[in-house]
Structure 1
Amino acid sequence: MTDDPTKLPSGAGKVAAAYPEIWSAYADLGRACSQAGPIGGQTARLVKLALAIGALSEGAVHSHTRRALEEGIAPDALKQVALMAIPTLGFPQAVRALTWIEDITNAKG
């Protein structure tokens, strides 16, 4: 999560710019949650992607996919997270998530 509203998607960036105190508190909460236990690095990013898929949040899936690629996680690993959703969330949701991931991975080349 970034503290810089200019690096956020349009909706989140507008909220962050209009309500910087709220955005700062939200960013602090995100950091605190990430640091609350031993999970870190690429594993934490994949967990966050899985949670975004389960929450049916296209924007969050896009965001976590972009950040995962920046952190060096292979596109195939991201796609596997979507496929692993099949038994729990169902085939349609997993395919939906796969297309959201591919929106970003295909755009990156």
Structure 2
Amino acid sequence: MISISKRWRIRQTPNRRSPQLQRDSFPTAAQWTAPMIPKPYRQMHDQFPEYMQAYEAFAAAAAKSGPLDAKSVALTKLAISIGAGLEGGTHSHARKALEAGCLPDELRHVAMLSAPTIGFPTMMRARMWVEDVLTKAAAKESTETQQP
């Protein structure tokens, strides 16, 4: 069985308080924070650890299977979630894209690029999902910078 925690590294990015996940890394359960990982996902991990480790190994292998860097992978997964109309997936991949070092405007651009394919109203819905994440991330960063 592949041990995911041994393959992931977290490094601090310049001018950001949140860690950036590198391409060959995946957070261990100890590195998860409640706002980052939804409770149902953590519960699934607790109830079915081998299943979830296999799922995460599959996802990590898919991410590493080609030439895309971490930011490109994150933006691609965000686009796929938007195209599929997955609110939870869009929220999750928007958070992961920020952690991979993507800028808020890059996430907004991905949402806006979807309009010709999925339609303007559907793009607006997806853009709201992205803005949900960006608003929460900005509030969290503001709170962290105010703490001594």
Using the size of structure 1 for normalisation, the TM-score is 0.91
Aligned to 2:143: none
Pick aligned residue for 1:76 from 105, 110, 129: 105
- RMSD, aligned α-carbons: 1.6
Q: How does 1:1-109 map onto structure 2 within 5 Å?
A: 2-4=27-29, 7=32, 8-109=37-138
- Greater mean alpha carbon deviation, residues 3-12 or residues 29-38: 3-12
Q: How many residues align?
A: 109
Q: Percent of pairs identical after alignment? A: 37
Unaligned 5+ segments in structure 2 are: 1-25, 139-148
Unaligned 5+ segments in structure 1 are: none
CA gap 1:93/1:2 in 2 versus in 1, 3 angstroms? farther
Larger Rg: 2
Q: Letter of the aligned partner of 1:12 in structure 2?
A: Y
CA gap 1:54/1:106 in 2 versus in 1, 3 angstroms? same
Q: Letter of the aligned partner of 2:103 in structure 1?
A: A
CA distance in 1, matches of 2:30, 2:132: 22
Identify, as 1 or 2, the structure richer in strand: 2
CA distance in 1, matches of 2:30, 2:58: 16
The answer to whether the 8 A contact 1:5-1:13 is kept is no
The answer to whether the 8 A contact 1:5-1:17 is kept is no
The answer to whether the 8 A contact 1:3-1:24 is kept is no
The answer to whether the 8 A contact 1:62-1:104 is kept is yes
Give the Å deviation of 1:5: 7.8
